[in-house]
A and B are shown apart, each in its own frame.
Chain A
Amino acid sequence: MSDITKQSLTELVENIKNKKLSSTDVTKAFIDRSEKSEELNAYITNDFTSALEKAKKFDQKPNLDSKLPGIPMAVKDLFCTKDIKTTAGSKILNNFVPTYESTVTENIWNEGAILLGKLNCDEFAMGSSNETSFFGNVQSPIDRNLVPGGSSGGSASAVAGQLTPVTIGTDTGGSIRQPASFTGIVGLKPTYGSCSRYGIVAFASSLDQAGPMAQNVKDCALLHEVISSYDPKDSTSIDFKRNHYSKELTNNIKGKKIGIPKEYRVDGMPKEIEDLWQKGIQYVKDCGAETIDISLPNTSYALPTYYIVAPAEASSNLARYDGVKYGYRAKGENLIDMYEKTRSEGFGAEVQRRIMIGTYVLSSGYYDAYYLKAQKVRKLIKNDFDEAYKKVDAILTPSTPSSAFKIGEKTNDPVSMYLNDIFTVPVNLAGLPGISIPAGHDSKGYPLGLQIIGKAFDEQNILNIAYAMEEKINFKNKITDWWIK
């Protein structure tokens, strides 16, 4: 089968279960394509040799009852993987090899999947364009010199470019949904507490969530089903009844009430985005759902709030990278000198910027004005959603205020870069699930996404809505293989 890499995860699983394909066939195909795709710079570390070995081993004694039988998969390099270098896209972890496995990846391997390698990302997941990685920026398979979005840019690029059937990313302010939107794929940010954070390099603990990225909604549901689990090793993991998301997936959303928040119609938003949104509204109506205009009055405060909360937590979470226990260490005359040089040389500019912001907002005299204020506004933002969900079952918005931009276009203007996350950030602040699905193209032919935001723990519902819309939208990603010689 020549077009193995074009198959969806669901198809691959079926073909392996029916023995039409072996794990070795599939693994080889993705390795071959990955090897031809160096120009995308999607991988930081590959594990192709041992992936093939594992595939062969799987084929000798295949466990076909598992959910991801012999499926090769690359994952974002923010997940700690046992005995495989894990960098978080940073120089400071350039040589770090964990002796442990994150719960989320453990869940994946337990269902029979095989690690292909570790995917590029913004340094410590701080970025919206995958330009802050120590290992270089990632190219979008959509077009040369186009950013794939971030921070899960390598993940988005790898799925859209068919270097991996599906992948997992992490989303702190939009890091799954925005790159998914930019590259024409599906990305789900689960409810806070659905997926364990154990073994994931932390950015902002109260916002970080791992989630699936896939070619279609069904694949996304299947992978989510695998990674979502209660984990006693994570005190913020929540013990609730999890669905068989892929099995229970339905396109029947008749009678569902979908909220359309007026505050997401922001100043300067391109008409293309507005048109896309209107199309989306029509699609859900066509599916038999009802749309209701709602208000989320504090939406415009979400981004400033996020840029206090996330850097504050990050400044503390990243204090452990001090050159003492692991990772990069610069020479220093004494302990303090060593710290200051290690962290100055080991962290990139964006990470340093955010650590500084975070340190500042927590520092003596500013805590109340910034951090405490932000925690209060966060409460208001959450209240907005709580109010809205008294009237509606889900909320439909654009995923991003624009399509993908060129590499280098926004690197000198942090604020304009941050504005990219304007529609995704409120969802993280409120701890809710959100899914981005590809919904159309802009005039340049770049993908555009729509976001469906659900109630807490209501992933099934937004997956269903996405599934129903997907059918109507019938999106075709324009992948030209421009990078393959």
Chain B
Amino acid sequence: MSIDLKTIKHISKLSRISVDEQRAKKLAGDLNSIFDFIEKLNELKTDNVEPLTSIAETTLKLRSDEVKSKNIREQIIKNSPQDNEDYFVVPKVIE
């Protein structure tokens, strides 16, 4: 198992974290040593094992259809990096 620079670039793109060449090399090294260690799982046969989807042994509780959250626009927008009273603002999206 080996994670190459191309893979690092791909996952950095998926995770929207830009990495320069130097960081990419460092990450490739780190990830390879981590995955060497993770590969230990291949020793185990798990064909007939049901994956665990939730550790809490209960079922999903349902809430009633009531509007409780009022207009809190000021609160919601207060922390946003760019000033605008009505909207979140981001650099132009290029389609």
Contacts and interface: CB of A to CB of B under 8 A. Distances in A.
Tell me, yes or no, whether A binds B.
yes
Interface of A: 95-97, 99, 192-193, 206-207, 232, 235-236, 238-239, 298, 300-301, 303-305, 307-308, 315, 319, 322-329, 332-341, 343-344, 347, 352-353, 355-357, 359-360, 363, 370, 372-380, 382, 414-415, 418, 429-431, 456
A99 B75 contact: yes
A146 B10 CA distance: 38
Contact of A352 (B17, B56, B88, B90): B17
Given A304-B37, A360-B11, A325 B31 contact: no
Interface in B43-83: 43-44, 46, 49-58, 60-61, 63, 72, 75-76, 78-82
Given A334-B93, A376-B52, 19 more contacts: A97-B79, A193-B56, A206-B55, A236-B56, A301-B43, A303-B37, A308-B41, A324-B80, A324-B90, A335-B94, A340-B17, A343-B17, A344-B19, A356-B12, A359-B11, A375-B53, A379-B51, A382-B55, A414-B30
A421 B17 CA distance: 27
15 contacts: A95-B79, A97-B78, A193-B56, A207-B55, A307-B38, A325-B79, A335-B92, A338-B91, A355-B15, A357-B31, A359-B15, A379-B49, A380-B49, A415-B34, A429-B55
Contact of A329 (B12, B30, B81): B81
Contacts of A336: 16
B8 interface: yes
Count class of interface residues, chain B: 35 or more
B46 A380 contact: yes
A116 to B, nearest CB: 24
B91 A334 contact: yes
A304 B94 CA distance: 40
Nearest to B28: A356
Contacts of B30: 353, 414
A239 B8 CA distance: 43
B5 interface: no
Contact of A337 (B51, B55, B91): B91
Contact of A340 (B16, B41, B49, B88): B16
A471 B3 CA distance: 51
